[in-house]
Amino acid sequence: MKAHELIHIMPSINTFKYYGKVKRVIGLMIESQGPESSIGEVCFIRVQSKSGMKRILAEVVGFRDGNVILMPYTNVQEISPGSLVEATGKSLEVKVGQALLGKVIDSLGNPMSMEPLPKGLKSIPIDRTPPNPLKRPPIRESIELGVRAIDSLLTVGLGQRIGIFAGSGVGKSTLLGMIARNTNADINVIALIGERGREVREFIERDLGEEGLKRSIVVVATSDQPALMRIKAAYTATSIAEFFRDQGMNVMFMMDSVTRVAMAQREVGLAIGEPPATKGYTPSVFAILPKLLERTGTNEFGTITGIYTVLVDGDDMNEPIADTVRGILDGHFVLDRNLANKGQYPAIDILRSVSRLMNELASERHRKAAEKIREQLSTYLNSEDLINIGAYKPGASKEIDEAIAQYPKIVSFIKQSTGLKMSKSESVEALIQLAETGEWK
């Protein structure tokens, strides 16, 4: 850089470092006197440990009575009154690039294998605004997920955002792994938030597999980590997906689960003094969800197809987080525990699930076939009790007779083993055959 260029830049360079000191620690919250900082800014807390002086990363989350409220990204065991707090003047950034493919990283972008980061990566901020609505191209093309029931009966568009709603142990993670392996998207970005430590490796090795991992970046924040780390995992993963979308790619983005992000935000909100609102969730929870979920979708460069799992407490589909997320997303798939108990996998309740863009993406023949299968399934389930107790007499209703004959074939069509991959065209053709001829291959 030339001397005359430096002269113009120097007045804008802040040569001061701002410091404060810790006053007290209460639960998740660290209160310090100073430094001069803003919400979202990253600070270092200098502490004395057995191995010498070290720095603990923390973030400014609020202010109270002229003091700064910080929350750490790690544990607070070594912090004491008077510990020095240094402001960095920056918000959290992570490094991203093609070299991250196949890596498992934490909320701060560090490889969990303890290896050094690959070279040639670019630093990006994790907190960004959603794309301008007027710059979002309409969704006109479908994406292949490799799951027969979804590709045919619940067709998803390139850049659509879908929620998978289910209780615990109904097959959400297995379905995500199946989609990650089978989809025709350019790259997968997967956020595992609030998972048990045991389940992380199981998901990567069993559900995702070596083939799926090669084209994926996995961001992990386990349930034992501080609330802020769990929240930042969601933001970090979304930023990585945005980076590849801006490169013109079609990204498959998966987050398991939005509910645990909301729970982590509730912990932060309660710690800084927010009043509990609906079922204990603080107002900030309902403020961050649309900002986070709206960041995916289409923009002028590429697409992010978002799949978010929602853990519904007690299988209650109307609990606050499920209700809020369902209103933001472009469709929802409901996994039913009763279907899972019967051995149906994936346990998708077709009648309670909807893709809001299917009618625009499917051909007329495809749409009519899907409508017919839904009608037959609905007819059978509405009459199932009468059929099971023998109260229905064959011949009393042509529709019910047809539904009884078709029901086993429809269930067989919806079922799919985790190792079986079907293209979207094969799935749609099989659906049309089933609807028009009563058989499918």
Tell me the pLDDT tens digit for each residue of 288-347.
Answer: 999 999 999 999 999 999 999 998 876 667 788 989 999 999 999 999 888 888 888 899
Pair 284, 40: CB distance under 8 Å: no
Q: Which pLDDT does position 251 carry in this prediction?
A: 94
Task: Tell me which of 45-59, 184-198, 246-260 is least confident.
Answer: 45-59
Provide the residue range defining the domain that includes 373.
365-437
* Per-residue pLDDT, 314: 64
Q: Are residues 70 and 136 in the same domain?
A: no
E-state strands within 50-125: 52-64, 67-72, 84-91, 93-96, 104-105, 122-125
- From 166-175, 177-186, 297-306, the region with the lowest mean pLDDT: 166-175
CA–CA separation, 94 and 241 (whole Å): 12
Residues 137 and 83 occupy one common structural domain: no
Please tell me whether residues 109 and 145 are part of one structural domain: yes
Q: Which of 265, 272, 186, 182 is nearest to 229 (CA)?
A: 265
Question: For the residues 157-163, what does the mean pLDDT come to?
Answer: 93
Cα separation, 208 vs 214, in Å, equals 10
Mean pLDDT of 360-382: 92
Q: What residues contact 12, with CB distance under 8 A and at least 6 apart? A: none
Task: Give the pLDDT of residue 369.
Answer: 93
Q: Which residue has the tokens 């998978």?
A: 164
Both 222 and 354 in one domain: the answer is yes
Q: Return contacts of 229-232, CB within 8 angstroms, 24+ apart.
A: 229/73, 229/74, 229/106, 229/107, 229/108, 230/107, 230/193, 230/194, 230/260, 230/261, 230/264, 231/261, 231/264, 231/265, 231/268, 232/73, 232/92, 232/107, 232/108, 232/126
- Among the three residues 300, 333, 360, which one is the final residue of a domain in this structure? 360
Q: How far apart are CA 399 and CA 427, in angstroms?
A: 25
List the structure tokens of 366: 């495809």
Picking from 44, 69, 91, the residue at the C-terminal end of a domain is 91
* Residue 260 pLDDT level (bands cut at 50, 70, 90): very high
- What distance in Å separates the CA atoms of residue 203 and residue 195, rounded to the nearest whole number? 10
Residue 371 lies in a domain: yes
**Contacts of 410 by beta carbon, 8 Å cutoff, 6+ apart:** 373, 376, 377, 434
CATH at 334: 3.40.50.12240
Query: What percent of the chain stands above pLDDT 70?
Result: 95
pLDDT of residue 231: 92
Over residues 207-211, the mean pLDDT reads: 83
Lookup: tokens for 66: 């002229």
| pLDDT reported for residue 1 | 52
- Domain assignment present for residue 395? The answer is yes
Which stretches of 222-341 are DSSP H helices?
227-246, 258-271, 283-293, 320-328, 337-341
Whether 2 maps to a domain, the answer reads no
| pLDDT on residue 8 | 56
On whether both 65 and 118 belong to a single domain, the answer is no
Query: pLDDT at position 7, please?
Result: 57
Q: Are residues 394 and 351 in the same domain?
A: no
Arithmetic mean of pLDDT, 123-133: 91
The predicted model scores a pTM of: 0.89
Report the DSSP pairing between strands 41-49 and 52-64: antiparallel
Q: Which of 37-41, 143-147, 270-274, 397-401 has the highest mean pLDDT?
A: 143-147
Whether residue 306 sits in one domain with residue 340: yes
Task: Please tell me whether residues 128 and 28 are part of one structural domain.
Answer: no
In 3D, which of 198, 239, 244 has the Cα closest to residue 219? 239
Nearest to 207 by CA among 222, 218, 194: 218
The answer, yes or no, to whether residue 11 has pLDDT greater than 70, is: no
pLDDT in tens, 41-96: 899 888 877 777 788 888 898 888 888 998 888 877 778 888 888 888 888 889 99
Yes or no: say if 357 and 305 are a contact pair by the CB < 8 Å rule: no
Is 315 a member of any domain?
yes
Q: Does residue 98 carry a pLDDT above 80?
A: yes
- End-to-end Cα, the chain, rounded Å: 68
CATH code, domain carrying 428? 1.20.1270.330
Task: State residue 6's pLDDT score.
Answer: 52
Q: What number is the average pLDDT over the span 255-266? A: 91
- Mean pLDDT in residue range 386-405: 83
pLDDT-derived band of residue 3, with 50, 70 and 90 as boundaries? low
- Which pLDDT score is estimated for 192? 93
208 lies in the same domain as 344 = yes
User: What whole-number distance in Å separates Cα of residue 335 and Cα of residue 423?
Assistant: 22
Query: Would you say residue 8 lies in a domain?
Result: no
DSSP assignment letter at 211 = H
Contacts of 205 (CB under 8 A, 6+ apart): none
Q: Looking at the structure, tell me whether residues 164 and 219 fall in a common domain.
A: yes
Residue 7 lies in a domain: no
* pLDDT for the residue numbered 389: 80
* pLDDT band, very low/low/confident/very high, at 365 (cuts 50, 70, 90): very high
Q: What local confidence, expressed as pLDDT, does residue 270 receive?
A: 87
Domain count, the chain: 3
Of 44, 64, 91, the residue at which a domain comes to its end is 91
Please report whether residue 237 resides in a domain. yes
Answer whether residue 201 is part of any domain: yes
Q: Is residue 368 predicted with pLDDT exceeding 60?
A: yes
Segment (H or E) for 222? strand 216-222
Statement to judge: residues 125 and 180 lie in one domain? yes
CATH of the domain at 68: 2.40.30.20
* Residue 244 and residue 154 share a domain: yes
78-92 confidence digits (pLDDT tens) = 788 888 888 888 888
